[in-house]
Amino acid sequence: MIHMRNVRKVYDTGVVALDGVNVDIKKGEFVFVVGASGAGKSTFIKMLFREELPTSGELLVNGHDVVNMERSEVPYLRRGLGVIFQDYRLLPDKTVFENVAFAMQVIEAPRRTMQRSVNAVLEVVGLRDKYRSFPSQLSGGEQQRVAIARAIVNSPAIVIADEPTGNLDPETSWDIMDIFHRINQAGTTIVMATHDKHIVDTMQRRVIAIEGGHIVRDEARGVYGYEA
Amino acid sequence: MKLRTSEYFLQEVFHSLKRNNWMTFASVGTVAVSLFVLGVFLILVLNMNRMAGMLESQVQISVYLEDKLEDSDHKKIKSEIENMQGIESVKFVSRDDAKDKLAERLGDQKYLLEALGDKNPLPDAFEVTVHQPELVETAAAAIAQIKGVEEAKYGQDVVEHLFDITRLMRVFGLALMVLLAGATLFIISNTIRLTVFARRKEIAIMKYVGATDWFIRWPFIIEGIVMGCFGGLLAALALRSFYAAMAAKIYSTLAFFPLMPQYPFMNYVTVGIILAGMAIGAGGSAISLKRFLKV
């Protein structure tokens, strides 16, 4: 699903964000990416949906050669991915339903399936009854659930989440993790960058730890390993 | 493009035009003013071209004779012209007839001639008509070679002057057009930039969920085209009333002036101006997208 060989990323400023990174993630895995701020975690995540391009090395995501692809192919890479951010990134002037449907609209999905698909994913995240609300009327946890619904509405093979619980209290965070767990159970690969020691230690999933641009640990059933 | 998608685009365009209403107004206004000025030049140049063409095709040649020729010389010259190819008629106009005609034409200003007293500075002449306008130039040249002929004129001076003026107006109009088009492009691209800015969050999300570059660009391009189209429409309406007023004025004072008939001429101008507006609008947003929309 995801294949990295000797990936190196140097920013224009000369900062080496990642160096000599080798990772293979298989279909259906649930992977935590941990590390301190500035360790290269964000760069790692951003390269997966080609927000950043590796300076050198090999990177395959969901069958796409990210390094050598044409610009015009990037949208098709992203259609196979669902991306979730710490700050939700919902459109304030659209309702919950419209925010989720938007993801289908812009890839010109057929209208017939839109209603059904949006309702289905809102069911998954437990917001079926709030479909007419606007983001400002929702709690942080609810907003993140809308963002998750939007990320999965086009049935991506991989869900990529960058600190999805970073702005949420512990209890709400667990609701979000429960949704991720269910999505993963249905066969979707999940890659999640996080700072949350408690979540990582409790979930007991694969952990990739990044420090100073290198992978320092990659364990199948790992723990956070730092004092948060 | 799918129906659902075009619906979405139109919605976006409508919202955006409303959101930036002041800039939209300024853009449409600038397009309208620029295209109106452009249209005025177009109308003037086309009309002058037409007038020059019509004068050129007038088939009459004035043949002025040298002084002190005998009647027999006149007859000789007359038959020589008549024997040329393509000549329709040759009519003698004596210098006295010519003076009477001139007096008639001067009307109230007849006193100008009276100043000459008994003297008559006008030459004897023939008025020659030819079968086809294309023959005028060669016939005039040939007649000018005949012994006893001073000059053979067919209004080429007037035509050449007209063409000079038309050429000048064309150059001036073109320069003005480039300037105005530049200003219009700038205003439109600025408006589109505001739209891009207002929608940057939406654009980012569109990119993350896999919208193609063109899907993201289209609403902006349509927005530019819509603004250009409205501007063109306003300019065209103004031009139509301008031309109608001009025609009414000219027909009441200079009835012989060969003005282009309003229809279908103004319909072509209308369509042309609106298309030009749309092109400027599309161009303006293309500039903006290139500079500000990193899709």
Residue pLDDT, tens place only, A143-196: 999 999 999 999 999 999 999 999 999 999 999 999 999 999 999 999 999 989
| Terminal Cα-to-Cα distance of chain B (whole angstroms) | 19
Mutate to test the interface with A, among B11, B205, B213 (most CBs of A within 10 A): B205
Contact by Cβ (8 Å): B101, B91:
no
Q: Which residue has the tokens 């500079």?
A: B291
Calculate how close chain B gets to A72, using CA atoms only, in Å.
Answer: 7
Beta-bridge partner residues of B126: B63, B92
> Residue A119: how many CB atoms within 10 A of its CB?
14
Lowest mean pLDDT among A10-24, A149-163, B164-178: B164-178
pLDDT of residue A228: 46
Say yes or no for a CB contact (<8 Å) between A89 and B201.
Answer: yes
Calculate mean pLDDT across residues A102-128: 91
Q: What is the interface pTM, i.e. ipTM, of the complex?
A: 0.87
Residue pLDDT, tens place only, A34-58: 998 888 899 999 999 999 999 999 9
Calculate mean pLDDT across residues B10-29: 84
Residue B205 corresponds to which tokens in the numbers above? 């999300």
Residue B2 has pLDDT above 90, yes or no: no
Q: Is B206 on the interface with A (CB under 8 A)?
A: yes
Residue A22: closest CA among A6, A9, A10, A37: A6
Say yes or no for a CB contact (<8 Å) between B210 and A72.
Answer: no
Burial of B117 (0-12, 13-18, 19+ CB in 10 A): exposed
Calculate how close chain A gets to B195, using CA atoms only, in Å.
Answer: 15
Calculate mean pLDDT across residues B250-254: 79
Calculate mean pLDDT across residues B216-222: 90
Higher pLDDT: B17 or A24? It is A24
Distance, in Å, from the CA atom of A219 to the CA atom of A204, rounded to the nearest integer, reads: 10
| Terminal Cα-to-Cα distance of chain A (whole angstroms) | 30
Mutate to test the interface with B, among A71, A108, A155, A159 (most CBs of B within 10 A): A108
Calculate how close chain B gets to A106, using CA atoms only, in Å.
Answer: 5
Q: Which residue has the tokens 């723990």?
A: A223
Q: DSSP letter at A67?
A: T
Element (H, E) at A208: strand A206-211
Calculate how close chain A gets to B229, using CA atoms only, in Å.
Answer: 26
Share the mean pLDDT of chain A. 93
Calculate mean pLDDT across residues B151-161: 76
Share the mean pLDDT of chain B. 83
Among B78-87, B218-227, B255-264, which range has the highest average pLDDT? B218-227
Lowest mean pLDDT among A151-160, B163-172, B277-286: B163-172
Q: Is B202 on the interface with A (CB under 8 A)?
A: yes
Q: Is B211 on the interface with A (CB under 8 A)?
A: yes
pLDDT of residue A118: 96
Residue A27 has pLDDT above 90, yes or no: yes
Higher pLDDT: A87 or B100? It is A87
Contact by Cβ (8 Å): B235, B39:
yes
Nearest CA in chain A to B1: A108
Residue pLDDT, tens place only, B92-140: 888 888 888 777 777 667 777 777 777 788 888 888 888 776 777 788 8
Q: How far is CA B156 from its chain centroid?
A: 21
pLDDT of residue B86: 81
Q: DSSP letters along A95-154, please? A: -HHHHHHHHHHTTT--HHHHHHHHHHHHHHTT-GGGTT--GGGS-HHHHHHHHHHHHHTT
pLDDT of residue B289: 85
